[in-house]
Amino acid sequence: ELREQEERGELLQPLGFVSLVLCSVLMYFKVSLMDPGFVKPEEEVKAEEAEGRGLVVPQVPGDIKLRRCGYCLVKQPLRARHCQLCQHCVRRYDHHCPWLENCVGERNHPLFIGYLSVQLVVLLWGGHVAWSGLYFEQSWEWLQHNIFLVLSFLLIVIFTIVVLLLLVSHLYLISCNTTTWEFMSHHRISYLRHSELENPFDQGIILNLWRFFC
């Protein structure tokens, strides 16, 4: 029977779905376990050595001075922030994700977007499968036999809405070349509060997306 189903192509869809789920799980562990861009003390020494040799070092625009973190005592690069939960300063800090138990920062932010995209496809596919298995009847007996499928479908719908909103909001912020932390705390961040421009990092949607993903 399996060979006949394979010849009819009936096994391709479940195999594809399982492959997507596996890819989603692997991406989850990759994003949650990888270094999001922690600022290391030795990087400050290397930067000072490079400056002493006359090499090009990125400068902070305007009169904004790089400040030293009061917790881990490293000199924070521009757009970095100290995470109380991770106990590290993170480059291009976006937010600390409780689902991942890790920060989303310079190094894992693009992979985080990829993870959300794959997760959204898995949820939409799972929702379609759950919906196709439902046939509605107004009877208590029908509800008893289908309660698990109904609850699964409702749960999938809720998670789909959450993931979709999260993905859309992140793509919007990326297109503006800003982070969740900068967007939510614009008035508290010195390099934004004292800037003449509302967003000094915005270089246009196309270039912002290109620099982020490529």
Told to judge if 69 belongs to the known catalytic residues of this protein, a careful annotator would answer: no
Per-residue buried b or exposed e for 83-105, using 16+ beta carbons within 10 Å of the residue's own CB: beebebbbbbbbbbbeebebbbb
Q: Which of 23, 83, 97, 214 is catalytic?
A: 97
Distances (CA, A) of 131 to 15, 122, 127, 128, 190: 19, 14, 6, 5, 50
Instruction: Compute how many other C-beta atoms are within 10 angstroms of the C-beta atom of residue 191.
Output: 18
Cα distances (angstroms) measured from residue 120 to each of 12, 32, 106, 129, 166? 20, 18, 22, 14, 10
Rg (CA), the chain: 23
Active site residues: 97
